[in-house]
Every structure is written in C-alpha cells, then in structure tokens.
C-alpha cells in the first residue's frame, strides 16, 4: 500500500493553518477598520434629498436661527423636521417660480410631506432627547458640526457610542451659555480657555449633573 | 456541545444583522403605509381638544405682567422668529426682505407705536398680509413676550437723547452718527 501522506504534507498543513490565521486576522482588521471608517459611519457623506436645501445659505447667508425651522428642539426629544408650511413662510413670496422648489410647492398643494432623508440618525435602541441637551447647554455644533458651512447636509461626527460617552464621562468642557446655543463658531471660546475655566464645573454643579449617572446604560438604552 | 462548532459561527454571522437598529416600530417622522398621506405621525382628528388647550387659551387672552424675564424671553423669541424679516431693530430691513420678500412695516411707525400689545399678539397668531401665522411655532405666552419686546424696541428706537444715562450717551457718540 502506498503512503497516504507525501513527504511535504506536514509543511502544507502548517502553511494552510498559517494562512487561515492570517485570513481571520485580516478579516478582523477589515471589519474594525470599516466600522470606524467614514464610509461605515457615514461621516461627511452627502445624502440625496428631494430638495437640495442649503444650510450654508440659510444659516450663514441669511442668519436664520436653527430654531426657526427646528421648532421642537427645546421642548421635545426630537428637533423637528420643519413642516412645509414653515418653508413657505418665506417661499410663498421669494423664489416662487424656482424649479428647485417645485417639490416644496407640490408638497403644500397636495398636503403630503417632503420625504427628507435622515442625516443624523441614531439606532432605534438609543433614546436620545434633544431638549435635555439643549437645556443643559450642549450647542448644536457639537454633534451636527459646522452646518453653516454645509451647502448640502452631511453627518459631521461618527455618531457612535464612543462619541456620546466621551461627553457623558466629562460633560463640563462641552457646556456653553444657554443664550448662545445655536452659535456655530466657538473659536474665540476655545482660544481663551482662561476666560471660562470654571464655567463647566459650575454648570455641572448648578444643574446637578452627575457623570456617574450619565454613564449608566439606562440613561440612553431602555 | 458537539453543535457548538456549527452554532458559534452562525451566531457570529447573525449578530452582524442590525435588526435592533431598525426596530419594527414607528418613530415620529418615519413613513407608514397605513395612512394615505404616508406619515407615521398623524395629525389629531378635527375637533380634538388638547389637554392643555384651556391653559393655552388662558395665556393668549391674558397679558402677562411686564418684567425683565418676559423681555428677555421676548428678545430671544424675536431674534429667532422675527429678525429674518423685521431685523433686530424692528425697522423691517431683515435679510429676507433684502432677497425680495415684501418689506414689513417698521415697528417705529406711529400707527404701530399706538397699537395695543394685543394687536401684535393677534398678528403673530393669525398672520397678516403676506406674513404667515406663527401660531404653530410661537406659544401663546411667547407671543406676549415678543409683543413686550417690540414695546421695548419702540421705546429704544424713539427715546429722546435727554432720557439716556451719561454712559449710554457716551457710547452713542462713540458709535458715530
């Protein structure tokens, strides 16, 4: 009877095992890299929208406050997608014939909402509430980025748990005066840390914010 | 335990499915095939009375007492909802009229200086001319706050020089003509 295994069988087995390990290692590396990539987190990717609405024009160009359209951000869990009625507050009079705004006019005439595509979407197992973040002084720009520089809307930060936890573990440095929450440019605030070195700690104390509670699972997950 | 070798990889593969992220439930702004307009968030049927409607009507009917908190609130709401057209001083030269929206009247006209505060509240509530109603965006108590702040703007815009403090007069002359 001939030999079942050739003389090189051992070597080939070792090579195969090594290759298998290498493949698993690369697969883990790829999955990890994908999850953190801007492609995986959708950061910086412009989403198609029924109307190419420019936040840059409306915020930086016209100086309209975020809350003019996102009316429920101070009082409810959701910031609020503006009703067509709100768009038409101005566009009933200006750019009335613009082809770009045809879907808006159709929406008003047919009483059906514009189907915007969500840019900053959180998974369904995260119970985020806008109103409490606004009430405590987290400015819009922290999570939504420089909206005033976005002709078309894209996600500014990877909305991963790491991002939420970074702030929940140490909220103080991220708090700002309530009267200026919709301000986009905080570079002068960042340039002069000595001017507000006690502000964060003071606000944490004033509002009774307890970082130990903020990192409990059921703060965001129920 | 002999199935573990089979079950573990299956568990690993299935865990990659992200059903938890899109749970079978409706969120406020999601679409729904249940209703003709395609919205999950349905308007309440006609004739629905909100739990707080009595309180809201009361707030609309009664002018709140003038105080600094009311003015501060009024300034904040005015800056959000009114300045795009009426501008920060209330003279009607906002960025939106600059783009072709019909100019609103200045709050410093004699007609509007003499108008009662309730007039501004009713314009915010019902709209006026090309101005849409802001009842969906500005709560009744905030409408009175805005009306109070318009009063302050009118007072500030038409104040005689003699009524200013020395410090304010100095700042005014520094600011130039």
Q: Over chain A, what is the mean pLDDT?
A: 92
Q: Is the pLDDT of residue A32 over 60?
A: yes
For range B149-160, the mean pLDDT: 89
Interval A34-61 mean pLDDT: 92
- Both tokens of A17, joined, read 């095992």
User: Which residues contact residue B29 at a Cβ distance below 8 angstroms, ignoring those fewer than 6 apart?
Assistant: A78, A81, A118, B40, B41
A62 touches chain B (CB under 8 A): yes
CB contact, 8 Å: B166 with chain A? no
- Whether the ipTM is more than 0.90: the answer is no
User: The tokens of B55 are what?
Assistant: 């309180």
Q: Report pLDDT for B156.
A: 86
Per-residue confidence (pLDDT) for residue A93, from 0 to 100: 93
pLDDT score, position B5 = 66
* Range A77-86 contact pairs with CB under 8 angstroms and sequence separation of 24 or more: A77/A127, A77/A128, A77/A129, A77/A130, A77/A131, A78/A130, A78/B28, A78/B29, A79/A130, A81/A116, A81/B29, A83/A113, A83/B136, A84/A108, A84/A113, A84/A114, A85/B132, A85/B136, A86/B136, A86/B137
- Report yes or no: A84 and A104 within 8 Å, Cβ to Cβ: yes
Residue A90 scores a pLDDT above 70:
yes
> Does residue B161 have a pLDDT over 70?
yes
Greatest mean pLDDT among A206-215, B14-23, B160-169 lies in: A206-215
Q: Does B26 touch chain A (CB under 8 A)?
A: no
Confidence of residue B7 (pLDDT cuts 50, 70, 90): low
Q: Average pLDDT in the A27-49 region? A: 90
What whole-number distance in Å separates Cα of residue B63 and Cα of residue B70? 11
What mean pLDDT value characterizes chain B? 88
CATH architecture, range B63-174: Orthogonal Bundle (1.10)
pLDDT computed for residue B146 by the predictor: 97
Q: Which residue of B has its CA nearest to A83?
A: B136
The per-residue pLDDT for B177 is 59
Task: Report the C-alpha gap between B132 and B123 in whole angstroms.
Answer: 9
Residue B15: band (very low, low, confident or very high) from pLDDT cuts 50, 70, 90 = low
Tokens at residue B118, please? 């309730």
What pLDDT does A111 receive? Answer: 86
**CB A67, CB B80: distance < 8 Å:** yes
Question: How many contacts does A have with B, using Cβ atoms within 8 A?
Answer: 67
Cβ neighbours for A180, distance < 8 A, ≥ 6 positions apart: A139
H or E segment and range at residue B97: helix B95-98
The pLDDT assigned to B74 comes to 97
Residue B17 has pLDDT above 70, yes or no: no
Say whether A124 and B28 touch across the interface (CB within 8 A): no
Q: How far apart are CA B119 and CA B151, in angstroms?
A: 12
- pLDDT, tens only, B112-143: 999 999 999 999 999 999 999 999 999 999 99
Interface touch A65/B23, C-beta < 8 Å: no
Find the range with the poorest average confidence among A89-93, B1-5, B164-168.
B1-5
Instruction: Provide the pLDDT confidence category of residue B12 given band limits of 50, 70 and 90.
Output: low
Does residue A102 carry a pLDDT above 70? Answer: yes
For residues B100 and A94, give the distance between their C-alpha atoms in angstroms, rounded to a whole number: 6
For residue A52, is pLDDT > 60? yes
The residue among A88, A89, A126, A178 with the most chain B CBs within 10 A of its CB, best to mutate, is: A89
DSSP state of A51: S
Identify the CA nearest to B39 among candidates A111, A2, A106. A111
pLDDT above 70 covers a percentage of chain B that reads 89
d(CA A210, CA B7): 42
- Which pLDDT score, from 0 to 100, does residue B63 have? 93
* pLDDT digit string, tens, across residues A158-199: 999 999 999 999 999 999 998 899 999 999 999 998 888 899
Selected residue with higher pLDDT from B63 and B10 = B63
Taking each helix axis from N to C end, the angle separating B53-61 and B140-157, rounded to the nearest 10 degrees, works out to: 20
Residue of A nearest to B81 (CA): A68
Query: How much is the average pLDDT of A15-43?
Result: 93
Phi-psi category of residue B101: left, alpha or beta, with phi > 0 → left and psi -120 to 50 → alpha: beta
Do the beta carbons of residue A120 and residue A144 sit within 8 Å?
A: yes
Of B20, B95, B136, the CB nearest to A62: B95
Query: How is chain B split into domains, by residue range?
Result: 63-174
Among B104, B137, B138, B146, pick the best mutation site for testing chain A contact (most A Cβ within 10 A): B137
Average pLDDT, integer, range B22-29: 88
Give residue limits of the domains in chain A.
Answer: 118-219
Percent of chain A with pLDDT over 70: 100
Give B6's pLDDT tier (boundaries 50, 70, 90).
Answer: low
């Amino acid at each position: 009877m001939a030999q079942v295994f050739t003389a090189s069988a051992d070597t080939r087995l070792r090579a195969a095992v090594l290759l298998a390990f290498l493949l698993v290692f690369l697969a883990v590396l790829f999955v990890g890299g994908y999850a953190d990539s801007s492609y995986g987190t959708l950061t910086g990717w412009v989403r198609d929208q029924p109307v190419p609405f420019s936040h840059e024009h409306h915020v930086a160009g016209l100086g309209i406050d975020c809350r003019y359209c996102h009316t429920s951000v101070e009082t409810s869990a959701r910031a609020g997608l503006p009703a067509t009625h709100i768009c038409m507050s101005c566009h009933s009079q200006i750019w009335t014939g613009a082809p770009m705004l045809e879907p808006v006019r159709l929406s008003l005439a047919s009483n059906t909402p514009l189907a915007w595509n969500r840019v900053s979407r959180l998974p369904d197992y995260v119970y985020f509430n806008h109103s409490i973040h606004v009430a405590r002084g987290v400015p819009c720009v922290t999570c939504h980025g420089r909206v005033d520089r976005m002709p078309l809307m894209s996600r500014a930060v990877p909305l991963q748990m790491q991002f939420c936890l970074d702030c929940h573990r140490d909220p103080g440095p991220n708090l700002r005066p309530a009267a200026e929450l919709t301000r986009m440019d905080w570079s002068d605030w960042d340039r002069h840390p000595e001017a507000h070195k006690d502000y964060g700690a003071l606000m944490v104390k004033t509002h009774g914010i307890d970082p130990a509670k903020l990192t409990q699972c059921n703060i965001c997950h129920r | 335990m002999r199935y573990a070798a089979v079950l573990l990889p299956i568990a690993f593969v299935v865990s990659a499915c992200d059903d938890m992220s899109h749970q079978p439930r409706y969120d406020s702004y999601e679409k729904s095939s249940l209703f003709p307009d395609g919205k999950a968030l349905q308007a309440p049927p006609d004739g629905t009375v909100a739990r707080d409607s009595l309180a809201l009507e009361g707030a609309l009917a009664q002018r709140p007492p003038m105080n600094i908190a009311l003015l501060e609130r009024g300034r904040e709401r005015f800056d959000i909802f009114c300045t795009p057209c009426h501008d920060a001083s209330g003279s009607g030269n906002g960025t939106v009229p600059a783009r072709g929206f019909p100019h609103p009247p200045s709050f410093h006209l004699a007609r509007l200086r003499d108008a009662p505060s309730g007039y501004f509240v009713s314009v915010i509530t019902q709209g006026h001319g090309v101005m849409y109603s802001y009842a969906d965006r500005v709560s009744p108590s905030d409408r009175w706050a805005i009306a109070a702040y318009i009063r302050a703007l009118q007072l500030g815009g038409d104040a005689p020089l003699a009524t200013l403090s020395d410090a304010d007069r100095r700042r005014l002359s520094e600011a130039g003509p």
